[in-house]
Amino acid sequence: MIKIEYWNSYDILDIHYEHSYRNRFYLNVDVKKPAYVVVREATENSLGESVNTFLRWEKQYSFELYCNEPLADAISAITLHDNVWVTLSNGYSGKVKDFLSEIAWTEIDGLAKVNVTFVSNSYTVNGQSAAGCN
């Protein structure tokens, strides 16, 4: 089981977030082992060497589930919120930086296949501080 908890710092989607209201639900899903995504931008110096100008490292998790339309609606709207926390079955709990979902309707009426990815950690290195990171 994982726990997903999300809220916003102001009212959105006709949901009133005053008085510390939070959405919370549990899903019985298998979270896949993390993928490590690296985004690198570099320029070439006069010696023909690549010099990093930007580096971002992300630890990205994913899971999939089949659900009905109301739950698909809720999951797809999570990305609009500025506070998203996920607690994994191993007890790790952290704020999510990117929570994205893809919804695909199945041949069974009202049943959606939902693929979710979320980033738990990311680090960015810019400009001169990236020069030594090859």
> Which residue's entry shows tokens 């899971």?
63
The order of strands in the sheet holding 93-95 is 23-27, 2-7, 83-87, 93-95
- What would the two tokens of residue 78 be? 């999570």
Domain extents in the chain: 2-130
Residue 114: predicted pLDDT: 97
pLDDT in tens, the chain (134 residues): 999 999 999 888 888 888 789 999 999 999 999 999 988 888 888 888 888 888 889 999 999 999 999 999 999 999 999 999 999 998 889 999 899 999 999 999 999 999 999 998 888 888 654 444 43
Q: Which residue has the tokens 């109301």?
A: 70
**112, 67 contact by CB (below 8 A):** yes
CA distances, 133 to each of 55, 58, 59, 81, 130 (Å):
8, 16, 18, 33, 5
Q: Look up residue 74 and give its two tokens.
A: 């809720």
Beta strand extents in 20-129 (DSSP E only):
23-27, 35-44, 50-68, 83-87, 93-95, 98-105, 111-126
CATH class of 2-130: mainly beta
